[in-house]
């Protein structure tokens, strides 16, 4: 914590100046508080601190920066405007940002380190880039087409993401892309968190890597039972009517399933969630040795919450 506070103070000091303060200056850009810093991370090798920061001319346009711990230098690693000069977001990404309260931001909103600290996974405007830290100007696009929720697998062998309501992986050794699910369309979603899970349970993902890269547990849900409602989006020059499935209190929820897929073979296995289908799948995760999948199951009235352990080999279950 002391290091982070000192680091933030250093950044703030770097932007200080003897500029005369006026009323016009108070209400103009850039902000007097300096560019905001988000997503502060220490690289796996401990050599640098990376973070997202707004541009001098637009505090809402975020670029990826680094602070080198060896030479105490700060510089921009990835310029979001170079990767994508103009953003064109999908409706799914707009909704995702709205629920994450980041709808006003542009550029790079998230990033992930590879386990060896040599590469960064950078999603921006539906495209996915791999950035070599030694050569950040040579960022390589590895996927496109409204990519959602990208991740580097724990061992660094794969990149995974959701596209068109299906789960995909890229083998970084061969560069080959593989589609792991194929039934995602219409009301069927794979590896995504449904509306209630995002809004009320803090879920930001619908799939979970085993620590040894051997499997992915993912949520599959059907939102057909959920009623369709209309909402209005009001702009300066127009008003748009948007239809979406919204589960109001007492309305039917999505029908949820939990599955395990092998990224190598594509084989899919079903994890039983019990006889009661009107439940919440609150969250899931793996044991450190990848031998057990754990998930939380909650009744619709939210009076009973169970933690269940699933043997990854046999799918045998026990309530913990």
pLDDT digits (tens, 9 = 90+) for 199-218: 888 898 999 999 999 999 99
Prediction pTM value = 0.82
Q: Is 197 helix (H, G, I), strand (E, B) or coil?
A: helix
Instruction: Mention every residue, 6+ apart, whose C-beta is less than 8 A from residue 278.
Output: 253, 300
* CB < 8 Å & 24+ apart, contacts of 99-103: 99/195, 99/198, 99/199, 100/204
What is the separation of C-alpha 56 from the centre of its chain, rounded to a whole number of angstroms? 26
- 3-class DSSP assignment, residue 238: coil
- Which pLDDT value is given to residue 5? 54
Say whether pLDDT at 11 is over 60: no
For CA atoms 233, 236, 239, 240, give the dihedral sign.
negative
Average pLDDT over residues 93-120: 81
Q: Which of 20-24, 56-60, 227-231, 263-267 has the highest mean pLDDT?
A: 263-267
- 134 pLDDT band (50/70/90 cuts)? confident
Domain boundaries, the chain: 180-319
Look at residue 193 in the predicted model and tell me its pLDDT: 92
For residue 31, pLDDT over 80 is answered with no
CA angle 287, 273, 100 (to 5 degrees): 70
The whole-number average pLDDT for the span 252-277 is 95
- What is the distance of C-alpha 66 from the center of its chain? 21
Please give the Cα distance from 35 to 38 (Å, whole number): 10
Each residue's pLDDT tens digit, 231-244: 888 888 889 888 88
109 or 206, which is more confident: 206
Strand-pair category, 255-261 with 268-271: antiparallel
* Burial degree of 124 (CB within 10 A; 0-12, 13-18, 19+): buried
Tokens representing residue 111 in the block? 């990033």
State the pLDDT at residue 33: 64
């Amino acid at each position: 914590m002391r290091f982070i506070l000192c680091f933030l103070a250093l950044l703030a000091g770097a932007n200080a100046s003897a500029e005369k303060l006026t009323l016009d200056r108070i209400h103009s850009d850039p902000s007097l508080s300096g560019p905001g810093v988000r997503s502060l991370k220490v690289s796996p090798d401990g050599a640098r601190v990376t973070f997202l920061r707004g541009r001098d001319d637009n505090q809402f346009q975020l670029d990826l920066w680094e602070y080198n711990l060896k030479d105490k230098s700060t510089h921009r690693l990835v310029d979001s405007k170079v990767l994508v000069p103009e953003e064109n977001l999908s409706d799914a990404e707009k909704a995702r940002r709205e629920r994450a309260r980041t709808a006003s931001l542009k550029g790079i909103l998230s990033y992930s380190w590879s386990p060896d600290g040599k590469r960064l996974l950078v999603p921006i405007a539906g495209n996915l880039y791999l950035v070599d830290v030694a050569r950040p100007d040579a960022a390589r696009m590895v996927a496109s087409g409204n990519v959602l929720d990208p991740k580097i697998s724990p061992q660094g062998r794969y990149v995974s993401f959701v596209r068109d309501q299906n789960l995909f992986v890229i083998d970084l050794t061969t560069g080959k892309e593989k589609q792991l699910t194929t039934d995602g369309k219409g009301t069927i979603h794979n590896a995504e968190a449904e509306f209630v899970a995002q809004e009320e349970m803090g879920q930001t993902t619908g799939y979970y890597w085993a620590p040894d890269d051997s499997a992915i547990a993912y949520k599959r849900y059907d939102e057909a039972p959920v009623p369709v409602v209309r909402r209005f989006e009001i702009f300066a020059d127009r008003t748009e009517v948007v239809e979406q499935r919204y589960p109001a209190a007492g309305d039917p929820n999505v029908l949820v399933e939990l599955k395990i897929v092998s990224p190598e073979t594509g084989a899919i296995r079903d994890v039983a969630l019990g006889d009661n289908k009107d439940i919440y799948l609150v969250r899931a995760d793996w044991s450190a040795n990848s031998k057990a999948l754990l998930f939380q199951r909650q009744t619709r009235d939210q009076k009973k919450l169970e933690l269940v352990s699933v043997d990854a080999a046999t799918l045998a279950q026990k309530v913990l």
